[in-house]
Amino acid sequence: MRDAITSLIGTYDVAGRYFDRNAIDSLKTYFETGTSRIQAAAAINTNAAALVKRAGSKLFEDLPELIRPGGNAYTTRRYAACLRDMDYYLRYATYALVAGNMNVLDERVLQGLRETYNSLGVPIGPTVQGIQIMKDIVKAEVAAAGVADTSFVDEPFDYMTRELSEQDI
């Protein structure tokens, strides 16, 4: 698992080089945004269960067929599995935000996920829609916690979206 710093060190070490201007700039950005990233994680953590619940309700409101007979989230077991997956996405998104690097998502969340979803008939499109709904809800929460620029919050959610849907082609 890598974060912004170990990933940078890895890159420069492989080339046997000292940090150059680019490396210093990206280190600066990492530290300058540190407080906001931690504030965001804190705002998410204290409300995680409620955020997941709201995102789930909105998803099932937008796509009610998911929870009707024949839908993949129909039956309480599968409904609960769906919300649990949303909770995984949220928790790992906070790790990635704090790390300033998306590697944890590859290693812990996305690896083999598409195959699992395909074999269980879990639809990718609606999953991606759920991830995007959660992104919007989380951004509003982070803004309400006093973080002025919440654009960095997009990254893990968009990353998971991109990886899940691209691989689906």
Ligand X SMILES: CCC1=C(C)/C(=C/C2=NC(=C\c3[nH]c(/C=C4\NC(=O)[C@H](C)[C@H]4CC)c(C)c3CCC(=O)O)/C(CCC(=O)O)=C2C)NC1=O
Stated as kind and residue range, the H or E segment containing 97 is helix 76-99
Return the residue of 40, 82, 97, 133 that touches ligand X, per CB under 6 A.
Answer: 82
Q: How many residues are listed for the chain in this entry?
A: 169
Return the residue of 93, 113, 138, 147 that touches ligand X, per CB under 6 A.
Answer: 113
Amino acid at 132: Q
Using the Cα atoms of residue 153, residue 155, residue 160 and residue 166 in order, give the sign of their dihedral.
positive
Query: Least separation, in Å, of the C-beta of 165 and ligand X?
Result: 13
Which of these, 128, 127, 125, 138, lies nearest to 158 by C-alpha position? 128
Query: Least separation, in Å, of the C-beta of 151 and ligand X?
Result: 24
Nearer to ligand X, 4 or 66 (CB): 66
Query: Least separation, in Å, of the C-beta of 7 and ligand X?
Result: 21
Nearer to ligand X, 93 or 122 (CB): 122
Return the residue of 29, 116, 118, 167 that touches ligand X, per CB under 6 A.
Answer: 116
In the region spanning residues 43 to 72, those forming contacts with ligand X, defined by CB under 6 A, are 66, 72
Query: Least separation, in Å, of the C-beta of 133 and ligand X?
Result: 9
Which of these, 115, 114, 140, 136, lies nearest to 127 by C-alpha position? 114
Which residues, 6+ apart, have CB-to-CB distance to 52 below 8 Å?
A: 83, 86, 87, 90, 134
CA distance 85 to 82: 5
Using the Cα atoms of residue 95, residue 118, residue 126 and residue 151 in order, give the sign of their dihedral.
positive
Nearer to ligand X, 54 or 78 (CB): 78
Return the residue of 8, 51, 90, 109 that touches ligand X, per CB under 6 A.
Answer: 109
Binding-site ranges for ligand X (CB under 6 A) = 66, 72-73, 78, 81-82, 85-86, 88, 108-109, 113, 116, 120, 122-123, 126-127, 130
